[in-house]
Structure 1
Amino acid sequence: MDLKNIILDKGDIKRILTRITCEIIERHKGVGNLVLIGIHTRGVYLAQRIGKGIVDIEGIVVESGTIDITMYRDDWTKISNHPVVKTTKIPFSVDGKHIILVDDVLFTGRTVRAAMDAVIDFGRPDRIELAVLVDRGYRELPIQADYVGKFIETRQHETVNVLFQEHDDIDAVLIE
């Protein structure tokens, strides 16, 4: 890992997630009908951290789940002939809920579109919102995040890598 490519460190990520958590609580005037769904892989860790932040601030545990969008992608055959499908775990009804999909990076919008398709297969939520740590632009679909940690200008060929302690033994965001 090239340390000069780090654009967000552990402290930056913690501050951003605190702000996003507060924005969610403020916009929803609490968390009564709210659920968090993390998009595999790193969106799951973000959703868990936001959920913990809600508990710390509001003292309320928000229902949460995880979703794998591999088979919902319109480009999965281009990614791999043998995609690795992870677990989708939504142990609650999504009907009538305010869902916040959580992901690490928003780029083309295709992952989010796939996640919305997957969620709707579980029922009919009242609202779906999106929270992302990094928005890097270059949308191919008309999708935008409701909660954005940081807008980062990149070149289209660059990669934004989000690393989390739970998966990568470090909290950092890098451009490569």
Structure 2
Amino acid sequence: MKKRTILDNAQISRSLTRMSHEILEHNKGSAGIVLLGVKTRGEFLADRLQGKIEEIDSIKVPAGNIDITGFRDDKLSAQKPTEAIDMDTSLVGSHVIIVDDVLYTGRTIRAAMDAILNQVRPAKISLAVLIDRGHRELPIRADFVGKNIPTAKEEKVNVYVEEYDGFTEVVLSE
């Protein structure tokens, strides 16, 4: 299997810095923003975005995580979990930014939106992803993208983060 590094640690950091600036510019500041990272790697990327936004705007926006397992359409269960969101701040009336590592078919993001709307009604939901690889099956697009990587369906994009994997990089496997 052939592997190629697409982004190294420094490139990921620069992408997250740029995304943070875009989020702040789009939102006209940090007021009302809540970051919600999709478990597992999305939660660490949300924490990194939180840190970068704090560096830029001197305000620590709330960040939490969301477990979408019970909302996946490929793992249907009769009972939906009532507490998929782990966060200390209310999402009511907030601008929730879902943070994920890779946007592919859109099904994970649909599940995240279902999980959020199952519990609360935010003012707005946006999407920030480190990698957009295409091949959407649902009409979902990211508002903030670290890098667009055109891929073939059989290729795999793996995001590794220091906090979970012990190193940080994005790898394309053929």
Superposition pairs of residues 19-168 of structure 1, within 5 angstroms: 19-76=18-75, 88-168=85-165
Superposed displacement of residue 170, structure 1: 1.0
> 1:93–1:122: 8 Å Cα contact kept in structure 2?
no
| Cross-structure match for 1:169 | 166
Q: Greater shift after overlay, 100-109 or 56-65?
A: 56-65
User: Quick one: distance in 2 between partners of 1:140 and 1:45?
Assistant: 26
> 1:94–1:122: 8 Å Cα contact kept in structure 2?
no
| Cross-structure match for 1:84 | none
| Cross-structure match for 2:5 | 6
Superposed displacement of residue 56, structure 1: 0.7
The one-letter code of the counterpart of 1:153 is: P
Gaps in structure 2 of 5+ consecutive residues: 77-83
Identity of aligned residues (%): 51
User: Quick one: distance in 1 between partners of 2:36 and 2:120?
Assistant: 14
Superposed displacement of residue 121, structure 1: 1.7
Deviations 1:98-140 (A, max 9, x none): 0000000000000000000001122111100000000000000
Give aligned pairs, total. 167
Gaps in structure 1 of 5+ consecutive residues: 78-86
Superposed displacement of residue 90, structure 1: 2.3
User: Quick one: distance in 2 between partners of 1:60 and 1:168?
Assistant: 28
SS of 1:24 mapped into structure 2: helix
Question: Following TM superposition, where does structure 1 have runs of at least 4 consecutive aligned residues deviating by more than 4 angstroms?
Answer: none
Superposition RMSD in Å: 1.6
> 1:5–1:175: 8 Å Cα contact kept in structure 2?
yes
The one-letter code of the counterpart of 2:13 is: K
Superposed displacement of residue 16, structure 1: 0.2
User: Quick one: distance in 2 between partners of 1:7 and 1:54?
Assistant: 24
Deviations 1:48-101 (A, max 9, x none): 000000111111011111000001000026xxxxxxxxx740222211110000
Superposed displacement of residue 157, structure 1: 1.1
User: Quick one: distance in 1 between partners of 2:38 and 2:55?
Assistant: 23
| Cross-structure match for 1:83 | none
The one-letter code of the counterpart of 1:119 is: I
| Cross-structure match for 2:81 | none
SS of 1:31 mapped into structure 2: coil
SS of 1:160 mapped into structure 2: strand
Superposed displacement of residue 158, structure 1: 1.1
User: Quick one: distance in 2 between partners of 1:97 and 1:122?
Assistant: 13
